[in-house]
Amino acid sequence: MQQFEALTREAQSLAEGGPSAAHARPPGADAMSAAEAEVAREMIICNACRYCEGFCAVFPAMTKRLEFHRADVHYLANLCHNCGACLHACQYAPPHEFAVNLPRALARVRGETYAHYAWPASLGALYQRNGLAVALALAGGFALFLLLAVAIHGSLFAGDARGDFYRIFPHGLMVSLFLPVFAWAVVALGIGASRFVAEVKPATGDVGASGPATAEALHDSFKLRYLDGGHGEGCHNEDDAWTRDRKRFHHLTFYGFMLCLAATSVATLMHYVLNIPAPYGWFSLPKILGISGGVMMVWGTVGLWQLRKRRHPDHLEPSHSGMDRGFIALLFLTGATGLLLMVLRTTSLMPVALCVHLGAVLAFFLMMPYGKFAHGVYRVAAMLRYSVEKRQPDRLGLSGE
Amino acid sequence: MNSPSDNASPDVLVIGGGNAALCAALMALESGASVRLLETAPREWRGGNSMHTRNLRCMHDAPQDVLVEAYPEEEFWQDLLRVTGGLTNEYLARLVIRSSSTCRPWMRRHGVRFQPSLSGALHTARTNAFFMGGGKALVNAYFRSAEALGARIDYNAEAVSIELDGDRFAAAIVRHKADDGSTREERITAKACVLACGGFESNREWLREAWGVNEYGEHPADNFLIRGTRFNTGSIIANLRDQGADMIGDPTQAHMVAIDARAPLYDGGICTRIDAVSLGVVVNRFAKRFYDEGEDFWPKRYAIWGRLVALQPGQIAWCVIDSKAIGRFMPPVFPGVRDNTLDGLARQLGLDAAQMVQTIEEFNRACRPGRFDHTVLDDCTTEDVTPAKTHWARPIDVPPFYAYAVRPGITFTYLGFRTDDSTAVHFNGRPSPNLFAAGELMSGNVLGKGYTAGVGMTIGTAFGRIAGTRAAASALGHDGADTLRIIEERDRAAV
């Protein structure tokens, strides 16, 4: 045994990289954050194993590389949907000394990229602070502000609005309040995403997206293809069993949100183009879209919240708990208060419900570019680069065992 | 459905928690037997060496989902015959081969999913079906399925000995280990028992004894690394050998690969392999070459290099390549030693620099011009150098140069119980009526020596399923003669 140990030490000292290079920081890691260097370390191990190739896009993207620089790490982090499959299948997961936990390592970097690419950069730090309490306080604060404004106006419980929101807040006021907030969110996220693409593009083939690549990326993103485990039967939540629930509740939430957005857009068109001002009847397009969207959002966010509570702790980056839950809570509040408003709109409580709903919506859009919503934008951007890169000829000619 | 609490004394006791054990447990459960399964490892290390596997070698006469073209029985058999040098049993080998052509629907039914051959392993797209996520995903699926069918699973439960009544299994003496390290013994009786708890590869004393002392006065086994689980100590193999079970196999024969010398002592798994051998040269401690690095495709040769290195002084060797090879082999987990001169490289490695330079220069001069093509047995060969490099020989002359220290890495040992197509453990040539064996601890019936990728899982699956069916038949009072027909029916039903 002594001979064995001596020779092992000898081999180790002879070989570059110290006693266990799988634990060392990879070359070029000095310019990286600790989280980025950890992803690069784990990727070297994964790239020598590759068992997870069929699960998602991260591993095929990995096999196109021998080294993992900062741009590669940012790209891979945002490709990951955190389905958990690779962790449960990993022969090198803790307690193995290689301690590979890719879902968490990538999640950590993902969080850093949101802050890193944020516009304006000084607001990037908000990602760290926008927890559940901040989200609720913001929504509550706005609601309170609006309630006070309406109360001063004397129409809070006036009861003569008869379902007409514009009696409470004139249409022009609502537009001038929400349009800048919404535009800000779009511009800020757009700049963040283009900064991300600018860094990642040279590392992913350095060519623009063709039509088929774009179509594939959008298809796979909006279908959440990579939450299906590669076999189409779902991803993981609390353990090594597959579940389709995460995908279902995400779809409900996202498409519910899109329906609500569509309701607003249709109403705007009706208002300005067709000159049909609100209120609209139960069977009008804005109502149908808005109510179904609201129900889906509430259903989806309740489901996601429940799943998150049961989620295997190793999947998650603990410091993201606030960002995740704050986002789900705001989405829920937006949907739920919208539905409440729908129910109460002909009662004397309408003005109160309206203020609460608008408070939630305002908080949601304000936090949009500095919260979990960003994941969708960066994910689609990464998926786009993936669809481009996979169409490029392979630079490597590997052959192995 | 059996209630787990009822299974303290089950119909079938399965000892082991890897692929063969789980296949046996699932088949026994499907036959209506109650099952209790003992896994020595704690839950997070469950699955033995199976958690490090990635595929099983499969016969097929036409393309099948992830498998391309055809891999007929005869070709599979010839491959096995070649790697074992004839040290196999044709009847049992063909039984294994044939069962590999129908078992996958059944595997799928129990939650195993398959994926196309991995990048960097495309040559196996025809012969090997890869598990989605690898062997740990397979193990997870089988445990989940066994639990759903009512199996009782004990982790941290090591069977230390078997109590026989003549040639019948009577009970297993099991040591349960609690979280605080304390142990408790239990005597578990069962109507039948399947032994599927691996080889003895992680028993370092046994390896030391088996390999003895070499011509340099060294104990070669002291320098072996174990690619897989630390829990395969072979205690049941030794216990039953001492009680007169019929044995097969040479204790020094094993699936042995040359792996990175920096790999962990246990569970380094696949990522520690060095796939650059056929692209360069391999030198020993004297900075001399010792074997044809280009004898055949690496997938057909990787399994001999563990043993080749084991026979070198110090059980260490260095794979040396130049920059032409970078990016042409599977990326290794540890970085290579790098230098701009061969002299400097040798100094970094602690080898005789003059000898190293001489060895490489001699090799370089011997390389005949040819058309290098790593995907075929090309015509790049050496002349007038011993040993020759018969393919892919290109001068090592483009700096920087890289070297990887390699050591023998044991995957699993072949010594085990001699058996027949019933998988029954035999005593003096007579089969036990209720004690069966599957997996590594009887793989020596098919693998006398050598290895070919994925065949371990093929053997474990085939004999695991037979053993489980037989054990259930024995426990439930059937004769077991129709085992193969039952398995065939289940495979057809699962399609």
Of B334, B336, B374, the CB nearest to A22: B334
Contact B275 A401 (CB under 8 A): yes
B376: pLDDT strictly greater than 60: yes
Contacts of B137 in chain A (CB under 8 A): 51, 85, 88-89, 240
Are A150 and A156 within 8 A, CB to CB? yes
Q: Is residue B385 part of a domain?
A: yes
B262 to A21: CB separation less than 8 angstroms, yes or no: yes
- What does the H/E/C string look like for B340-354? CCHHHHHHHHCCCHH
Instruction: Render B36-78 in DSSP notation, one character per residue.
Output: EEE-SS-GGGTTGGGGG--EEE--BSS-BTTB-S-B-HHHHHH
* DSSP three-state, residue B244: coil
Per-residue pLDDT band at A9 (split at 50, 70, 90): very low
Name the minimum distance, in Å, from the CA of B2 to any CA of chain A. 21
- Please state, for a pLDDT cut of 70, what percent of chain A lies above it: 90
Domain span at residue A252 reads: 126-373
Q: Which domain holds residue B307?
A: 257-409
Do B428 and B397 have their domain in common?
no
Which SS3 state, helix, strand or coil, does residue B243 take?
Answer: coil
Instruction: For residue B477, name the pLDDT band (cuts at 50, 70, 90).
Output: very high
Instruction: Indicate the pLDDT class of residue A393, thresholds 50, 70 and 90.
Output: confident
Domain assignment present for A87: no
Contacts of B231 in chain A (CB under 8 A): none
Q: Is the pLDDT of residue B246 over 60?
A: yes
User: Residue B238: inside a domain, yes or no?
Assistant: no
Q: How confident is the model at residue A130 (pLDDT cuts 50, 70, 90)?
A: confident
Answer whether A235's CB lies under 8 Å from A247's CB. yes
Confidence at residue A14, expressed as pLDDT on a 0 to 100 scale: 40
Determine, yes or no, domain membership for A350.
yes
Q: Which of B45, B140, B262 sits opposite A15 (nearest CB)?
A: B262
Q: Is A12 on the interface with B (CB under 8 A)?
A: yes
Q: Measured between alpha carbons, how far is B416 from B421 in angstroms, rounded to an integer?
A: 15
- Are both B355 and B457 inside the same structural domain? no
Contact: A398, B337; criterion CB under 8 Å? no
How far is CA A15 from each of CA A21, A46, B405, rounded to the nearest angstrom? 9, 21, 7
Does A11 contact B299 at a Cβ distance shorter than 8 Å?
no
Q: Tell me: do B146 and B287 sit in the same domain.
A: no
pLDDT at residue number A279 = 82
CB distance from A314 to chain B under 8 Å? no
Q: Is the predicted pLDDT of residue A22 greater than 80, yes or no? A: no
Q: What does the alpha-carbon distance between residue B454 and residue B463 come to, in Å, rounded to a whole number?
A: 15
Query: What is the pLDDT, as a whole number, of residue A81?
Result: 97
Q: Is residue B170 part of a domain?
A: yes
The closest CB to that of B262, out of A12, A44, A48, belongs to A12
Partner B contacted by A8 (CB < 8 A): yes
Q: Which of B323, B135, B331 lies closest to A43, judged by CA?
A: B331
Asked, for residue A13, whether it belongs to a domain, the answer is: no
User: How far apart (Å, rounded) are the C-alpha atoms in residues A292 and B438?
Assistant: 57
pLDDT at position A173 is 87
Residues 6+ apart with CB under 8 A from A269: none
Q: Supply the CATH number for residue B49's domain.
A: 3.50.50.60
B477: left (phi over 0), alpha (psi -120 to 50) or beta: left
Question: Residue B120: which of A232, A268, A101, A46 has the closest Cα?
Answer: A46
Confidence tier at A29 by pLDDT (50, 70, 90): low
pLDDT at B314 over 80: yes
| Mean pLDDT value of segment B38-60 | 97
What is the structure's pLDDT at A19? 38
Same domain, B428 and B309: no
Domain boundary, last residue among B380, B409, B438: B409
The helix (run of H) or strand (run of E) holding residue A236 is strand A235-236
Q: How confident is the model at residue A31 (pLDDT cuts 50, 70, 90)?
A: confident
B405 touches A: beta carbon within 8 Å: yes
Mean pLDDT across the stretch A356-367?
A: 94
Q: How many domains does chain A have?
A: 1
pLDDT, tens digit (0-9, with 9 covering 90-100), for B212-231:
999 999 999 999 999 999 99
* pLDDT above 60: residue A332: yes
Q: What is the mean pLDDT of chain A?
A: 89
Closest-CA residue of chain A to B298: A401
Residue A169 confidence class, pLDDT cut points 50, 70, 90:
confident
Helix (H) or strand (E) run with residue B375 in it: none
Per-residue pLDDT band for A394 (boundaries 50, 70, 90) equals confident
| pLDDT 10s digits, B284-299 | 999 999 999 999 988 7
- A396 min Cα distance to partner chain B (Å): 6
- Residue with the bigger pLDDT between A167 and B405: it is B405
Residues from chain A contacting residue B120 (CB–CB below 8 Å): 50, 63, 398-400
pLDDT at A397: 61
Residues in chain B with CB shorter than 8 Å from the CB of A98 are: 264
Residues B363 and B484 in one domain: no
Determine whether the interchain pair A49/B331 forms a contact, defined as Cβ–Cβ distance below 8 Å.
Answer: no
Q: What is the ipTM, given to two decimal places?
A: 0.95
> What is the mean pLDDT of the segment spanning B188-202?
98
Buried b vs exposed e over A192-218: b needs ≥16 C-beta within 10 Å? bbebbbebbbebbbeeebeeebeebbe
Confidence check: pLDDT of A2 > 60 = no
The yes-or-no verdict on residue B327 having pLDDT over 90 is: no
Measured between beta carbons, the chain A residues lying within 8 angstroms of B375 are: 399
pLDDT value for A143: 93
* Residue B182, min C-alpha distance to chain A (Å): 21
Q: Is the dihedral of CA A350, A356, A360, A362 positive or negative?
A: positive
Rounded to the nearest angstrom, the minimum Cα separation between A277 and chain B is 56
Check: CB of residue B394 under 8 Å from CB of residue B297. no
Q: Do B118 and A51 touch (CB under 8 A)?
A: yes
Give per-residue pLDDT as tens, B418-455.
999 999 999 999 999 999 999 999 999 999 999 999 99
Chain A residue numbers touching B136 (CB-CB < 8 A): 88-91
Give me the number of domains chain B comprises: 2
Sign of CA dihedral A286, A292, A295, A298: negative
Same domain, B195 and B341: no
Residue A159 pLDDT? 59
- For residue A94, cis peptide bond before it (omega within 30 degrees of 0): no
Tell if the pTM clears 0.80, that is, is over it: yes
CB contact under 8 A, B315 and A7: yes
Amino acid B5: pLDDT: 54
Tell me, yes or no, if A235 comes closer than 8 A to chain B by beta carbon: no
Q: What are B20-35's pLDDT values in tens digits?
A: 999 999 999 999 999 9
In a domain, A89, yes or no: no
**Are residues B396 and B341 part of one domain?**
yes
Q: Answer for the pair A111, A323: CB distance below 8 angstroms, yes or no.
A: yes
Task: Say yes or no: A15 contacts chain B, CB-CB below 8 A.
Answer: yes
Please name the residue of chain A whose CA is at the shortest distance from the CA of residue B348.
Answer: A14
- Asked if the structure places residue A183 within a domain, the reply is yes
Q: Tell me the mean pLDDT in the region A212-240.
A: 96
Say which CATH number the domain at B330 has: 3.90.700.10
> Is residue B326 domain-shared with residue B193, that is, in the same domain?
no
Contact B330 A3 (CB under 8 A): no
Please indicate whether, in this complex, the C-beta atoms of A398 and B330 are within 8 angstroms of each other.
yes
The answer on B378 and B480 residing in a single domain is no
CB A55 to CB B132 under 8 A? yes
Let me know whether B195 and B308 are in one domain: no
A78, A111 in Cβ contact below 8 A?
Answer: no
A362 Cα to chain B: minimum distance (Å): 44
Residues B307-327, mean pLDDT to the nearest whole number: 96
Q: How many percent of chain A have pLDDT more than 90?
A: 73
B402 and B487 within one domain: no
Q: Does some domain include residue A238? A: yes
One domain, residues B394 and B479 = no
Q: Tell me what the pLDDT averaged over chain B comes to.
A: 95
CA nearest to A400, candidates B295, B299, B450, B134 = B299
Q: Given CA atoms B133, B134, B139, B142 in this order, what sign does their dihedral have?
A: positive
Residue B247, in any domain of the structure: no
Domain boundary among B409, B438, B462: B409
CA dist., res. B223 & res. B315, Å (int): 6
Instruction: List all residues of chain B from 97 to 156 with a beta carbon under 8 Å from chain A.
Output: 113, 115-116, 118-123, 130-137, 140, 144
pLDDT at A155: 74
Residue A5 lies in a domain: no
Please give the pLDDT value at position A30: 56
Task: Using a pLDDT cut of 70, give the percent of chain B over it.
Answer: 99
Which residues in chain B are contacts of A63 at CB distance < 8 A?
A: 119-120
The gap between the terminal CA atoms of chain A, to the nearest Å, is 30
Find the mean pLDDT for residues A254-269.
95
